[in-house]
Structure 1
Amino acid sequence: MNASEALTVTKQAAADGKLSESAVENIQSWLTQDRYSRYRDQVVAEIADHNWQALDDAFWTIIPFGTGGRRGRMYPIGSNAINDRTIGESAQGLADYVREYHQGKKGLSCVIAYDTRHRSRHFAELCAGIMVAAGFKVYFLDDYRATPQLSYAVRYKQCDCGIMVTASHNPPSDNAVKVYWSSGAQVLPPHDKAIIDRVMSCENIQSIPFDHALADGKIEIVTDEIDQAFLNVASQQAFEGPRDVKILYTPLHGVGAEAVMPLLAKDGFKQVEVYGPHEQKSGDFPNVPGHVSNPENKAVFEAPIEYARQNGFDLILATDPDCDRLGVAAPVTMDPAGPWETLTGNQIGAVLAEFILSKRAEAGTLSPEHYVVKTLVTTELIRRIADSHGVKCIGDLLVGFKYIAQAMDANGPDKFVFGTEESHGYLVGQYARDKDGAVACMLLSELAADLKQRGVSMHQYLADLYRKHGFHQEYLINLVMEGSEGMAAMQRLMTAFRKTPPESMAGIPVTQIRDYLNQTVTNTADGKQTALDGPVGNLIIMDLADEGNYVAARPSGTEPKIKLYVFTRLATEESQDLDAAAKKLGDRLQSLESDMRAFAKANS
């Protein structure tokens, strides 16, 4: 079968309902355009084998840049897959734009790092060869390293950009590139759209073999240099206090041990053990449930908790494969042999905010000009904690830590105290512009040691915050919608939220709809609209009649799903009996989830 015959067969498959029209269009490009010539035989072979579902998944769209870069399932061919072509386009598009933006500048440079995923090293070398061919000096981290180390390295080496090869906590089938600007933050407007334009219009990819570029000195290995510099600057974020706490740490088969263990040791923690079954560096993530190394998932803690209970640990810390997110489990009481519970991303953010602000207040280093930063879908408990310490909270931000980084630079990094997002991302200090699981591990360990000395458990500490600021409970609903039909379903559901939203949820009236894409606030009682002063993005927030209760909806920027964020709260006076408060909000969350799933099913 030749390319022409393959195209005829492909069009017939579409007529038979086996392929989407958009897939046919993209397959035709790969069969006929010179820029895809090296992949032509592979495409023809897939068509000859009638692998229609795989072909539709790989070609129905062009894989986009989302909140974290370009991420997706790996497949050797396809516009909607991670492969040499789509990764190469990403690096070439980045190189082309940075050269245009810095027209005439000499000495352009880029840092590249990678994690433990399948083909991460290969993709990192591919990107390095492309950047060198475009005239860049490349600083290369020549082993598995953490995303926050890449963010720091861009700033430390004063580079024009950076590339991190990782798919964070996605399944083993996935990989990605995260693209960073000279600030050390992931690319923001207008640079993101400009880079996308270059990526989408990329014709030819120019590359130099990695080994040749390394031998010529155009690629420089900086692993040891960055390790030491990162350790020094990250350890400066520590607070004085006790260190008598026994910690079990799991890197979930990722890169975290290289960043976390030296940092905890430098901060004085002597009783730290890496959980053996999760220590192996593997892109298969063999010993975590479902082979998904996501610290947001309670199931990844089940085996470590049993080990911790049997061996008298006080705290369990888990970082995702690229070590930019932190998950936590702790005993409910001061007895490690008793029951344990995990903390949500919002709860970790709350206890860290209180700890950091309290330590800063004790040291006399807080003022009304200092501020914390969070996103719109992160708990408002953070804002209430900030208010209690007399500092500002900047919280009107879209999802993505790059917006927290942007707020840091816009408001002055010298007054930045803490940044947090509900998806387990945390940062202190000015050394990086992305979330850092290693520094979060250090601070959580300091908090645990401080609480142990006082005879207070982590959960009791959180309970005190609830009594002071009102009981807050949040829940995330992930509606997975894969493929071309899934994208259409997501669009239908977001349209329904905008045009025909539910009148009530959990028996509580919906009072207004905040539409951040169209910049409107709609009063549901009379339909009147007013202007919304906020960031522009595909996010909808439905406010309920009870203050502090609302639901947010947005398509994920990195995965084929719609995320529904459910927020509930009781007033302070209703929150003194926490068992009763937990029962009330637990029932409310269950009812809200049921109503939201029913609405989604009927409207997608």
Structure 2
Amino acid sequence: MSTTETNQPELLQAIDKAQKDGKLTESAVQNITAWLTEDRYADYRDVVAQHIRDEKWQKLDDVFWTIIPFGTGGRRGRMYEIGSNAINDRTIGESAQGLADYVVQHVGGDDLSCAIAYDTRHKSRHFAELCAGIMVAAGFKVYFLDDYRATPQLSFAVREKDCDCGIMVTASHNPPSDNAVKVYWSTGGQVLPPHDKAIIDKVMSCQDIRVAPFDEALADGRVEIITDEIDTKFIDAAAACRFEGPRDAKILYSPLHGVGAAAVVPLLKRDGFDDVTVYEPHAEPSGDFPNVPGHVSNPENTAVFEKPIEAAKAGGFDVVLATDPDCDRLGVAAPLTTDVQGEWATFNGNQIGAILTQFVLSKAKEAGKLNPQKYVIKTLVTTELIRRIAASFDVRCEGDLLVGFKYIAEVVDREGPDDFLFGTEESHGYLVGQYCRDKDGAVACMLISELAAELKAAGKSMHEYLNDLYRQHGLHRESLVNVFMEGSEGMAAMQRLMAAFRSDPPKSLASIDVAAVRDYQANTTTSIADGSTSPLAGPNGNLIIMDLADEGNYVAVRPSGTEPKVKFYMFTRLSPELSQDLGQAGKTLDERVASLEADIRAFAQKV
């Protein structure tokens, strides 16, 4: 019996006293007690005990107040050596073991297989090797991408090797403190209902984690390295989605210290782009993300483009591209006019989605490949400009989807990949083709580069291209506000806030009446005027949309599935008639967005 076990009564008394003194939440005490007393946590018992002796109550509460959940992208959070609410060997191990146990039970057979890849984050290689050992011990053949590789390459590998599942070790664009696993099904898409809930059940009930030594499994063939094979086949498959046209564009590309250069650079070269430069300060693969503002490699953050834009102006580049650490998201900056030494600006995710939708559909039309059965896909919190562009080409838009690219992938398989044209979500995710089932920053870089070259040949800037869409379909302005709510108190505040939007929503926002509230959890629409409710067709999830009386203006609210925050999406629009003077129209909508944000923040603070 260890010293920790003999001192368990003393340790349990200490955490009980800490709870009474208000230093630990009840849920944290329950989870700490489990890690101290249950055999499945024996390897971590001494570290937990030392934290208790050192009275690290705040840290203990942070990492034990809940059990880290599966969200829209898997299981994601801050790394710490212990804790049910942290990413560590135990929580990563439970995730892999739960997946293995479910696939064995659900699929069965003697020839199960799993593909595994990892990004540049701290401990990503370690966690990938741990997951591989767990899958091997469960009887799986593991196909391993043993270098920093992109999330879409993992999705492709699952499909290419006909795997039953896949694991990507990445926390996407989160801060350096974080890591995660994204879990994939045999389709190459992230796990969906009912598999996700069933896997969670296996994860939560996981007792023993069984791990085969990685080196032994590699030596005897139970782990097979497939990096070179997938590199070649992935580039072949993505390049097959190219469109014909000019290739004279000077491109500055930033991988933001992530994996992207291994996919983006060879893909652009294959597509005929010979003038591609990797932005040197962001080239080093590093989990610290040292040369980006705040050490957060998120292409949604305009600040990451400031230095690359300076370099682009000095070097005469036509466009700046940036992908996040696992290269599934794309950010873009371009000059406002055809003068590359003039003023530049970034595009948000909705704007990139709009210009790529227009580009893909116009090129498909040129090739005679459009018909009413063809379709594009977007989520409920992605701009309706996508739907209007699709309608102008007489193709369908599948748009009643919850947040998460896995739902876009689900539609591709449900509606048929042969008619799929383009998928987009506001958080900078884009996909064409049939080769994978997740958003792909590399293929998005290829499409934007093709558009940049085509516009350069036509004497038009990318921003002017977008402005043409606004004049045709009406000016759209979207904005996203994140309200962070950390820890156990934050979770309770999130729940109160969502309940308030359901039970007593604002009567007006930005001086416009709220006409109705769409509640996708109850699947009802409530009229604010008379309180009547009606059934709401669509998916079921924790999402609320408040429709304003002015058509095309609405606010969506949802808790993040991957981070401790509530996300507020604001959508505004003017008619085409009121959008011909884009300067005046932009001023009107900018003021409306600012007013919406102020009203939403005020409402949230009162709850």
Short-chain TM bin: over 0.9
Distance in 2, matches of 1:206 and 1:391, equals 50
SS in 1 for 2:245: coil
> What's the offset of the Cα at 1:249?
0.1
> What's the offset of the Cα at 1:300?
0.3
1:127 equivalenced with 2:131 (yes/no): yes
1:451 equivalenced with 2:455 (yes/no): yes
Which of 236, 241, 244 lines up with 1:240 in the alignment? 244
Question: Partner of 2:443 in structure 1?
Answer: 439
Distance in 2, matches of 1:4 and 1:426, equals 55
Question: Partner of 1:22 in structure 2?
Answer: 27
Question: Partner of 1:258 in structure 2?
Answer: 262
1:225 equivalenced with 2:225 (yes/no): no
1:36 equivalenced with 2:41 (yes/no): yes
Write out per-residue CA displacement over residues 332-376 of structure 1, whole angstroms, 9 at most, x where no aligned residue: 011111110000000000000000000000000111000000000
Distance in 2, matches of 1:3 and 1:441, equals 56
Question: Partner of 1:66 in structure 2?
Answer: 71
In structure 1, give the amino acid aligned to 2:92. Answer: I
Question: Partner of 2:571 in structure 1?
Answer: 567
> What's the offset of the Cα at 1:95?
0.2
Distance in 1, matches of 2:47 and 2:439, equals 39
> What's the offset of the Cα at 1:106?
1.6
Write out per-residue CA displacement over residues 394-432 of structure 1, whole angstroms, 9 at most, x where no aligned residue: 000000000000011111111000000000000000100
Distance in 1, matches of 2:588 and 2:249, equals 34
1:151 equivalenced with 2:155 (yes/no): yes
SS in 2 for 1:405: helix
Question: Partner of 1:50 in structure 2?
Answer: 55
> What's the offset of the Cα at 1:5?
1.3
> What's the offset of the Cα at 1:4?
2.3
1:539 equivalenced with 2:543 (yes/no): yes
SS in 1 for 2:364: helix
1:599 equivalenced with 2:603 (yes/no): yes
Question: Partner of 1:495 in structure 2?
Answer: 499
Question: Partner of 1:208 in structure 2?
Answer: 212
In structure 1, give the amino acid aligned to 2:154. Answer: L
Distance in 1, matches of 2:299 and 2:154, equals 21
1:267 equivalenced with 2:277 (yes/no): no
**Does structure 2 conserve the Cα–Cα contact (< 8 Å) formed by 1:3 and 1:40?**
no
SS in 2 for 1:568: strand
Alignment of 1:270-419 (within 5 A): 270-419=274-423
1:469 equivalenced with 2:473 (yes/no): yes
Which of 81, 84, 88 lines up with 2:86 in the alignment? 81
1:425 equivalenced with 2:429 (yes/no): yes
Question: Partner of 2:560 in structure 1?
Answer: 556
Which of 153, 161, 164 lines up with 2:165 in the alignment? 161
**Does structure 2 conserve the Cα–Cα contact (< 8 Å) formed by 1:487 and 1:560?**
yes
> What's the offset of the Cα at 1:7?
1.4
Question: Partner of 2:191 in structure 1?
Answer: 187
Distance in 2, matches of 1:557 and 1:126, equals 25
> What's the offset of the Cα at 1:209?
1.0
Write out per-residue CA displacement over residues 174-233 of structure 1, whole angstroms, 9 at most, x where no aligned residue: 000000000000000000000000000000000011101101110000000000000000
SS in 1 for 2:115: strand
Structure 1 stretch 49-58 or stretch 128-137: which is displaced more?
49-58
Q: How many residues align?
A: 602
Question: Partner of 2:15 in structure 1?
Answer: 10
Distance in 2, matches of 1:6 and 1:281, equals 42
SS in 2 for 1:580: helix
Distance in 1, matches of 2:10 and 2:349, equals 53
Gaps of 5+ in 1: none
Distance in 1, matches of 2:76 and 2:67, equals 11
Distance in 1, matches of 2:499 and 2:435, equals 41
> What's the offset of the Cα at 1:311?
1.0
> What's the offset of the Cα at 1:3?
2.6
TM-score by length of 1: 0.99
In structure 1, give the amino acid aligned to 2:28. Answer: A
**Does structure 2 conserve the Cα–Cα contact (< 8 Å) formed by 1:511 and 1:523?**
yes
> What's the offset of the Cα at 1:535?
0.3
Distance in 1, matches of 2:467 and 2:117, equals 40
Runs of 4+ in 1 over 4 A off after TM superposition: none
Distance in 2, matches of 1:327 and 1:485, equals 34
Distance in 1, matches of 2:370 and 2:436, equals 21
In structure 1, give the amino acid aligned to 2:482. Answer: N
Write out per-residue CA displacement over residues 265-319 of structure 1, whole angstroms, 9 at most, x where no aligned residue: 0000011000000000000000000000000000000010111111111000000
> What's the offset of the Cα at 1:489?
0.4
1:142 equivalenced with 2:146 (yes/no): yes
Distance in 2, matches of 1:371 and 1:549, equals 24
Write out per-residue CA displacement over residues 73-93 of structure 1, whole angstroms, 9 at most, x where no aligned residue: 000000000000000000000
Distance in 2, matches of 1:107 and 1:528, equals 55
Distance in 1, matches of 2:403 and 2:572, equals 19
**Does structure 2 conserve the Cα–Cα contact (< 8 Å) formed by 1:59 and 1:80?**
yes
SS in 1 for 2:332: strand
SS in 1 for 2:289: coil
**Does structure 2 conserve the Cα–Cα contact (< 8 Å) formed by 1:368 and 1:391?**
yes
1:525 equivalenced with 2:525 (yes/no): no
1:102 equivalenced with 2:96 (yes/no): no
**CA-atom RMSD, angstroms?**
0.5
Percent identity over the alignment? 72
Distance in 2, matches of 1:560 and 1:209, equals 35
Distance in 2, matches of 1:82 and 1:411, equals 36
In structure 1, give the amino acid aligned to 2:521. Answer: L
Structure 1 stretch 135-144 or stretch 6-15: which is displaced more?
6-15
**Does structure 2 conserve the Cα–Cα contact (< 8 Å) formed by 1:242 and 1:450?**
yes
Question: Partner of 2:203 in structure 1?
Answer: 199
Distance in 2, matches of 1:84 and 1:52, equals 22
1:588 equivalenced with 2:592 (yes/no): yes
In structure 2, give the amino acid aligned to 1:420. Answer: T
Distance in 1, matches of 2:41 and 2:141, equals 27
**Does structure 2 conserve the Cα–Cα contact (< 8 Å) formed by 1:113 and 1:163?**
yes
> What's the offset of the Cα at 1:587?
0.4
Distance in 2, matches of 1:310 and 1:233, equals 35
